[in-house]
Amino acid sequence: MTMEPLTLPDQSSAWSSWLDERGRDSLRTAADQIATLKSAQPGDAAILQLWNDAGISISNAAAITSLLTSVHPDADVIEQAEAIEVEVGRFISDLHTDREVFDQLSSIRSVGLDDGARRVLAHALRSFRRSAVDRDEETRTRVRELNERETELNQAFSRNIRDGRRTASVSPESLAGLPEDFVASHTVGDDGRVAITTEYPDMLPFLTFSRDAEARRAVAHEYFNLGWPDNDAVLGDLLRLRREKAHLVGYADWPDFDAELKMIGKGGAIAEFIDKVAEDAREAAHRELAVLLERGAPDGITEIDVSNWRYCFEAVKREQYGVDAQEIRRYFDFAKVHAGLLEVTGRLFGLSYEPVDAPTWHPEVTSYDVHLDGALLGRIHLDLHPRDRKFNHAAQFDLVPGVRDRQLPEGVLVCNFPRGLMDHDQVVTLFHEFGHLMHHVLAGRHEWVQFSGVATEWDFVEAPSQMLEEWAWDATVLQVFATDEVGIPIPTELVERMRAADEFGKALLARTQMMYAAMSYRFHLEVPDDLTARVFELYPEFSMLKPLPDTHLHTGFGHLDGYSSGYYTYMWSLVIAKDMFSAFDPENLFDEALAHRYRDTVLAAGGSRDAADLVADFLGRPYDTDAFTACLNR
Ligand SMILES: [Zn+2]
Q: Which amino acid is at 632?
A: L
Contact 208, 311 (CB under 8 A): yes
- Three-class DSSP category at 400: strand
CA pair distance 10, 18, nearest whole angstrom: 10
Residue 464: asked if its preceding bond is cis (omega within 30°), the reply is no
List residues bridging with 367 in a β-sheet: 356, 381
How do residues 355-381 score in pLDDT, each as one tens digit? 999 999 999 999 999 999 999 999 999
CA pair distance 402, 411, nearest whole angstrom: 9
Centre of ligand 1 from the C-alpha of residue 396, in Å: 8
pLDDT at 586 over 90: yes
Contact 634, 505 (CB under 8 A): no
Angle (nearest 5°) at CA 399 between 4 and 31 = 90
- pLDDT at residue number 633: 80
- Output the CA–CA distances (angstroms, integers) from residue 71 to 8, 56, 158, 262, in the order listed: 14, 22, 13, 29
List residues bridging with 291 in a β-sheet: none
Exposure of 348 in the CB half-sphere (CA atoms within 13 A):
26
CA pair distance 551, 347, nearest whole angstrom: 46
Centre of ligand 1 from the C-alpha of residue 124, in Å: 26
How do residues 493-516 score in pLDDT, each as one tens digit? 999 999 998 889 999 999 999 999
85-106 average pLDDT score: 92
pLDDT at 2 over 80: no
What is the pLDDT confidence band of residue 68, given thresholds at 50, 70 and 90? very high
377-392 average pLDDT score: 94
Q: Which of 183, 619, 267, 230 lies closest to 459 in space, CA to CA?
A: 267
Q: Which amino acid is at 379?
A: R
Centre of ligand 1 from the C-alpha of residue 464, in Å: 9
How do residues 264-273 score in pLDDT, each as one tens digit? 989 999 999 9
Cα torsion 573, 579, 583, 587 to 10°: value is 90
Contact 277, 514 (CB under 8 A): yes
Contact 580, 598 (CB under 8 A): yes
CA pair distance 553, 541, nearest whole angstrom: 16
- pLDDT at residue number 326: 84
- Ligand 1 ion: residues within 5 Å (CB): 462, 465
Q: What is the average pLDDT value for the chain, to the nearest integer?
A: 95
- Three-class DSSP category at 382: strand
Contact 351, 377 (CB under 8 A): yes
pLDDT at 1 over 70: no
pLDDT at 481 over 60: yes
Centre of ligand 1 from the C-alpha of residue 74, in Å: 26
Out of 157-166, 404-413, 560-569, the most confident range is 404-413
How do residues 276-334 score in pLDDT, each as one tens digit? 999 989 999 999 999 999 999 999 999 999 999 999 999 998 899 988 888 899 999 99
Residues near 271 by beta carbon (within 8 Å), at least 6 away in sequence: 521
How do residues 154-176 score in pLDDT, each as one tens digit? 999 999 998 999 999 999 999 99
Centre of ligand 1 from the C-alpha of residue 609, in Å: 20
- pLDDT at residue number 318: 87
Residue 90 CB neighbour total at 10 angstroms: 15
Centre of ligand 1 from the C-alpha of residue 395, in Å: 6
List residues bridging with 194 in a β-sheet: 170
CA pair distance 422, 331, nearest whole angstrom: 8
Centre of ligand 1 from the C-alpha of residue 432, in Å: 6
Centre of ligand 1 from the C-alpha of residue 329, in Å: 23
Number of H helices, E strands in the chain: 27, 7
Angle (nearest 5°) at CA 612 between 608 and 618 = 85
- Output the CA–CA distances (angstroms, integers) from residue 620 to 596, 597, 606, 617, 631, in the order listed: 16, 12, 19, 5, 21
